[in-house]
Structure formats: C-alpha cells, structure tokens
C-alpha cells in the first residue's frame, strides 16, 4: 500500500510530545508541530484518528499569520493565488535585473555602484550579474553606470513578479488542501499498523512519494523530522549537534553510516566522513531541501539499495541542512530574501554576518570592515559569525577526539548551477590537489547531467567569486562582487585537509534564482543524489574499498531512476524557462557514467579547458 511518509513521520512526534528546539513564536507561520500533544500516550490502535489530526494540523490548519493576511488584488488572471498585503508591501516594487558584462570598466562600475547603493547582488558569473532592487532605484543605478550598461540589462523578474515568486515558495492553504486530499486517499487502515506502526512501509518507493518533499519546510518541521529519523533508524542514523546559533537555536545534523562505535571495537579505525552542509545563506532554500532529500534517500536506502548500503558501510555522511537556523527562520517569518545570520553587529539596525566569509583561512574582511549592512559582511575578524565558529569547532573536535577523518565536503548553495573547488580566496594560489579536484568535479558534472540533463559548470571557486571577462583572448579577473577572502570551502580544504571539497550552487540559472519553485525540490534532490552516489563510488576507488563500487551505477537507478516514466514532473522542461539555457548541444548524449572514473572524453575536455 502506498504510504505517505510525512504523515507517518509526524505521528510519533505528536504522540511522543517532541517539542521543537526553536524558540517559541506563538504566531509563527507554518508551525505544525507546535501544537503537538504535550503528554506521552500510546498511539497503537489510534492510527486513523491521529493521522487525521496530524495531517490536518500540518496541511490544512491556517496559521494566525495567514488568517490575518489581507487579501489584495490579483496579479494575474490565470493565477488563482492572491498576494498577501505584507508580501506586496515589502517586495511588490522590487525587480531582479541581469546585467550582461563585457568589459572590465563595466564590471568595475557595477561593483562600485552596488557598494554605493548597498544593492542586493543575488548572483554573478563570468559575464553577468543579477541585482535585486526597488524599481524606483533603477534610474539612480543606471545614472551611475556607463552608457553601455544602461542598455545591456534585462529584467529576470519584474515588479510584482518577484513578490509573486516569493509568495509561491511558501506552502499555501491551497496546497495544504491538495495534500490533505491526497493523504486521506492513501491512508492505511488502522489494523495494518497496529503491529508495526513504524515498520517497513517507511522505506520509500522513492522519496517523491513523500509529501515532505512537495514543499519547502520550515525549521519547526525539519528539526523534529530529523529527530524522528534518528529514533526510527537507530542502526545507521544518529543526531549530531554541531553547536548553537547566535540566537540560541540548535544546529543539528544527521550522521549516517555504520559507525564503528556501533560495534564493540575498543580501537576502531578512523571513520572516513563526508560532510554535507546547507543553508549557510538563509534564502537558499533549495540547498536545505536538497540536503534533506539526500539524507532521506541514504537513510531509507540503507539495506534496500546495494550501492547505498555499501557506501554507508565504507563512509559516514554527516548532513547539516540548516547551518544558519536563525537566518532560515527569519526567511520564513520576516524576510524571504535574508542571506546572513541574525547576529547583532556594531550597527544596531544592520544584523547579520555572512557565514561563508567568516571562516578563518585567508579571511579578509577589509572590503566590508565596519559595514555590517553589507550582504557579505564578514565580521570584524575571522570566525566572528557564531555558526561558522561552531561548525569549525565541531569539525576540529570530531577529528581530534572522535576518531573522525573528513575526506569530503559538499557545501550546498544556490543558484547558478556550478561545481566549485578550492580556492575561493585567490585564483593565483592553486590548490595542491587541483587535478584530483577537477577530475572528481567533472565526474559529478556528468552524473548530474546524466540524471536530468541539467548542466553544471565546473570551475575554481575564485572564478565563481569574480566577474571574469576575456580581453583579447586573455582572461582577466574583474572586481569581486562579494567580499574577498576565503570561504568555508577554503577552510575545510586547507585547515581540515578535506581532500575532496566542493561548493555546489544548485538550480537554477536565474529564471527564479533563490525563489526556485517547489516543483524543483525533488528533481534537484535527485540530481544531487546521483552526484553523491558518484562521489561515494569515487571515494571507494580512491580509498581502496575497491572494485565492488563498479556496478554502483545500476543501483542508483533503483533509488533515483525507478520512476523514469514520471521524470517529467518538473523536468517538464517545456514549462521551465531554464530549458533554453540548459539545452546545450553537449547535454545528455546517452553517455554512461563509470563510477569512480572520469572517462577519456572528460579528461580531454578537462585538458582543453586548462
């Protein structure tokens, strides 16, 4: 019988009275578990009633915030959704512009203008910069720019479109109703679960059957969900507390693997561990949902999918979906486009530090020093940001006291579809393991492309952090749009000696940017699971846990590709404006991915690039 896991996962929460670790906000939107039953009582035999209650609590009960929302005029005739007044008031006049950059002068003046006007630079690549600003500020900005730039920009999201896109990323009452109906239709009978209420049906056909991944989820749902997974899959999942945020929230993660401490080995070997972090930047919701998707797939695939089982026998994965919990909560409650943490700074009205630029390798706060209002404010000294410090301290402690060796890092961000490898602080200093990093990077690229045809660029992070423009065939690196200096990626690579370290910027390429519609949650999760499985196979070869990884690719299909017929959900590229950008001639030519190897063609491509 088809089962809805989110509902199932929610039941014991309600019954066990699991409280959220989030400081209480009585009127917080989307706080389904806040109303969880406070006392413990048995739930066997009460399945139907409880399911009903929890599902209604999660999916259909309007929050106080929603009740207070004043419905305003329609944005589009076809869109039945109404924009709430506060969303419209806050973002209704904002636009997202893409400036196409072709000269150094253009890049320089755009960087200066952004600084002067304290603009919100969303993303940038070799030849473009995306900036969000109020429509009414556009003339002022253009006035500061050279003539050529005044014509070389296009709106990605126009007035009201941006507000609509924001609104669309939150679960809506309409969706709640849809989910409720779907959930009711597939509820199991009470009898079938009297014996084993949390038994085999937890294992997914594929995570896409899980309504948890139909929407972005707030921290108040994610944290109890993680605790529940921990309590249900005790053989291979443990809850990890990385530390505490500036506002006192737990930074939680899941350690997934057959950890040697599960055995009674008095001197267990070093546990090789891959760290997956997400949500350093609060508004990059797809990173958090993707980390959750990876966790769920690995956890429920253990014992069911041979390649996952072997990978978790060989390595541990620690997955931290919300490294910046304060910022994440803030994006749900107050400002969807918040990026930094919520730490107090020297300027009362400018909160927050950029976690990624707070790490203490090649830290350089000079460009934002004394300017806490900057979106990439790095603090006044390295590790000023509480959550960056917490992660670093935790990682050090793991290696020094807990027998852990970090061999891989995947730091998930959005957007622009890039696979970045060290260093980010400089393009002149080459990472010692450059060739290895590139080799695995191109392997990840192929695994992703194979999954869904989406193209991710592979490049050193320094290039991802600068606008580069070719001048007479020579590549020159133009002014950085963000703070200079190292990042979390650099710190883990250099200080923690994580040999295989990457920062991945997920979908899309600017169609929606940070406001990626929820329909991308599962497809993005799938392509990253494919990347992770490739990563695992590669590590198995690199660390000699051997040839058995070779047929790993076939197994992945069992988890991520068993729904070939259904792959058209959002991969319904016709509806995806991104498709035009992604449909490069090289995309998906039926190539096969050999786990653990970069094939000859990829190597050739690699050589050509260098």
Please give, one letter per residue, the 3-state secondary structure of 429-493.
Answer: CCCCCHHHHHHHHHHHHHHHHHHHCCCCEEEEHHHHCCCEEEECCEEEECCCCCCCCCCHHHHHH
Half-sphere exposure in the Cβ direction for 423 (13 Å, CA): 19
Shortest CB 280 distance to Zn ion, Å: 6
Least distance between Zn ion and beta carbon 151 (Å): 30
Contact 413, 354 (CB under 8 A): no
Measured from the CB of residue 281, what is the shortest distance to Zn ion in angstroms?
Answer: 3
Both tokens assigned to 198:
């949390």
Nearest distance, CB of residue 416 and Zn ion, angstroms: 10
527-552 residues labelled b (16+ CB within 10 A) or e (exposed): bbbbbbbbbbbbbbbeeebeeebeeb
Q: Which residue do the tokens 């070939």 mark?
A: 564
Nearer to Zn ion, 3 or 361 (CB): 361
As to burial, measured by CB atoms within 10 angstroms (0-12 exposed, 13-18 middle, 19+ buried), residue 91 is buried
H-only helix segments in 84-159? 85-91, 104-117, 138-144, 147-151
Shortest Å, Cβ 402 to Zn ion: 28
Q: What is the bridge-based pairing of β-strands 250-256 and 316-320?
A: antiparallel
167 vs 285, beta carbon nearer Zn ion: 285
Whether residue 412 contacts residue 287, with contact meaning beta carbons closer than 8 Å, is answered with yes
Q: Determine contact, residues 448/531, Cβ cutoff 8 Å.
A: yes
Within 10 angstroms of residue 605's Cβ, the number of other Cβ atoms is 15
| Pick 413 or 499: Cβ nearer Zn ion | 413
Beta-bridged to residue 505, according to DSSP, are 413, 418
Structure tokens at 251: 């930074």
Q: Smaller CB distance to Zn ion: residue 284 or 582?
A: 284
| Integer Cα distance of 23 and 1 in angstroms | 38
Query: Is 540 within 8 Å of 597 (Cβ atoms)?
Result: no
* Minimum distance from residue 115 beta carbon to Zn ion (Å): 19
Q: How far is the CB of 339 from Zn ion (least distance, A)?
A: 7
Q: What single string gives the DSSP state of each residue in 317-371? A: EEEES-S-HHHHHHHHHT-TT--S-----SSTT-----GGGGSSSS---TTTTT-
Nearer to Zn ion, 299 or 458 (CB): 458
Smaller CB separation from Zn ion, 237 or 278: 278
Residues with Cβ within 8 Å of 423's Cβ and at least 6 positions away in sequence, in order, are 362, 429, 430, 431, 460, 461, 462, 486, 489, 490, 493, 494
Q: Which is nearer to Zn ion, 259 or 413 (CB)?
A: 413
Query: Closest CB to Zn ion among 87 and 503?
Result: 503
Q: Which residue has the tokens 């693997």?
A: 257
In angstroms, what is the minimal distance from the CB of 247 to Zn ion?
Answer: 20
Least separation in angstroms between CB 141 and Zn ion: 23
State in angstroms the smallest separation of the CB of 37 from Zn ion. Answer: 38
Residues lying near Zn ion in the complex (CB under 5 A)? 281, 284, 413
Burial of 425 from C-beta contacts in 10 A (0-12 / 13-18 / 19+):
buried
Quote the least distance from Cβ 454 to Zn ion, whole Å. 18
> Which tokens hold the place of 308?
């996952």
Give, for 14, the enclosing helix (H) or strand (E). helix 5-16
CB-wise, 123 or 555, nearer to Zn ion? 123
Q: Which is nearer to Zn ion, 302 or 492 (CB)?
A: 492
The Cα–Cα gap between 81 and 74 comes to 7
Residue 347 CB, nearest distance to Zn ion (Å)?
A: 23
Cis preceding linkage at 596, omega within 30: no
Measure the CA–CA gap between 387 and 329, rounded to whole angstroms: 14
Which position has the token pair 């008031």? 89
Task: Write down the least CB distance from residue 283 to Zn ion, Å.
Answer: 8
Shortest CA distance to 120 belongs to which of 378, 377, 420? 377
Nearer to Zn ion, 179 or 413 (CB): 413
Residue 586: φ, ψ to 5°: -80, -10
**Closer residue to Zn ion in complex, CB, 281/484:** 281
CA distance 96 to 94: 7
Q: Distance between CA atoms of 100 and 461, rounded to whole angstroms?
A: 20
State the nearest-atom distance from the C-beta of 264 to Zn ion, in Å.
Answer: 42
28 vs 284 by CB, closer to Zn ion: 284
Q: For the chain, count helices (H), then strands (E).
A: 23, 16
Pick 119 or 308: Cβ nearer Zn ion: 119
**Cβ at position 585, least distance to Zn ion in Å:** 30
Q: Which is nearer to Zn ion, 207 or 278 (CB)?
A: 278
């Amino acid at each position: 019988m088809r089962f809805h896991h989110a509902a199932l996962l929610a039941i014991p929460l309600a019954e066990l009275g699991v409280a959220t670790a989030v400081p209480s906000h009585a009127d917080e939107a989307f706080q389904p578990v806040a109303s969880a039953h406070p006392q413990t009582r048995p739930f066997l035999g009460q399945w139907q009633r409880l399911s009903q209650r929890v599902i209604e609590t999660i999916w259909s009960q309007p929050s106080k915030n929603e009740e207070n929302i004043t419905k305003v005029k329609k944005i589009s005739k076809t869109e039945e959704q109404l924009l709430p007044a506060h969303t419209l008031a806050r973002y209704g006049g904002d636009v997202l512009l893409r400036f196409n950059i072709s000269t150094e002068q253009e890049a320089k003046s755009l960087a200066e203008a952004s600084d002067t006007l304290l603009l919100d630079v969303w993303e940038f690549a070799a030849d473009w910069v995306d900036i969000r600003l109020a429509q009414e500020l556009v003339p002022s900005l253009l006035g500061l720019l050279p003539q050529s730039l005044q014509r070389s920009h296009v709106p990605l999201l126009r007035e009201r479109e941006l507000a609509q896109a924001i609104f669309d990323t939150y679960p809506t009452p309409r969706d709640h109703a849809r989910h409720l109906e779907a959930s009711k239709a597939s509820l199991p009978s009470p009898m079938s679960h009297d014996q084993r209420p949390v038994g085999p049906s937890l294992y997914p056909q594929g995570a896409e059957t899980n309504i948890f991944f139909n929407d972005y989820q707030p921290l108040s749902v994610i944290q109890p969900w993680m605790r529940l997974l921990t309590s249900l899959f005790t053989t291979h999942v443990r809850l990890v507390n990385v530390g505490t945020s500036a506002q006192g929230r737990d930074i939680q993660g899941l350690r997934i693997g057959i950890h040697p401490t599960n055995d009674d080995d008095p001197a267990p070997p070093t546990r090789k561990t891959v760290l997956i972090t997400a949500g350093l930047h609060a508004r990059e919701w797809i990173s958090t949902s993707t980390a959750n998707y990876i966790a769920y797939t690995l956890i429920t695939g253990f014992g069911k999918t041979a390649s996952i089982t072997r990978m978790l026998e060989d390595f541990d994965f620690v997955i931290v979906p919300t490294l910046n919990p304060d910022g994440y909560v803030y994006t749900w409650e107050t400002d969807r486009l918040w990026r930094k943490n919520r730490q107090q700074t020297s300027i009362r009205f400018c909160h927050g530090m950029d976690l990624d630029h707070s790490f203490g390798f090649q830290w350089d706060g000079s460009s934002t020093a004394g300017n806490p209002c900057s979106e990439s404010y790095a603090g006044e000294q390295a590790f000023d940001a509480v959550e960056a410090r917490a992660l670093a301290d935790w990682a050090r402690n793991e290696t020094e006291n807990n027998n852990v060796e970090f061999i891989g890092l995947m730091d998930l961000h959005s957007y622009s579809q890039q696979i970045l490898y060290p260093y980010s602080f400089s393009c002149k200093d080459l990472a010692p393991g450059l060739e290895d990093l590139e080799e695995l990077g191109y392997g990840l690229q192929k695994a992703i492309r194979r999954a869904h045809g989406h193209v991710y660029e592979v490049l050193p992070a320094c290039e991802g952090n600068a606008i580069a423009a070719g001048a007479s065939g020579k590549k020159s690196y133009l002014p950085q749009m963000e703070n200079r200096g190292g990042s979390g990626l650099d710190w883990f690579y250099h200080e923690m000696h994580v040999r295989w370290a990457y920062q991945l910027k997920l979908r899309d390429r600017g169609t929606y940017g940070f406001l990626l519609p929820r329909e991308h949650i599962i497809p993005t999760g799938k392509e990253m699971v494919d990347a992770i499985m490739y990563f695992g196979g590669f590590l198995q070869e690199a660390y000699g846990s051997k040839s058995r990884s070779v047929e790993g690719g076939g197994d992945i299909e069992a988890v991520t590709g068993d729904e070939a017929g259904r792959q058209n959900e959002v991969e319904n590229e016709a509806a995806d404006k991104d498709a035009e950008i992604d449909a490069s001639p090289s995309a998906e030519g039926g190539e096969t991915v050999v786990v653990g190897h970069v094939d000859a063609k990829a190597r050739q491509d690699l050589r050509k690039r260098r």
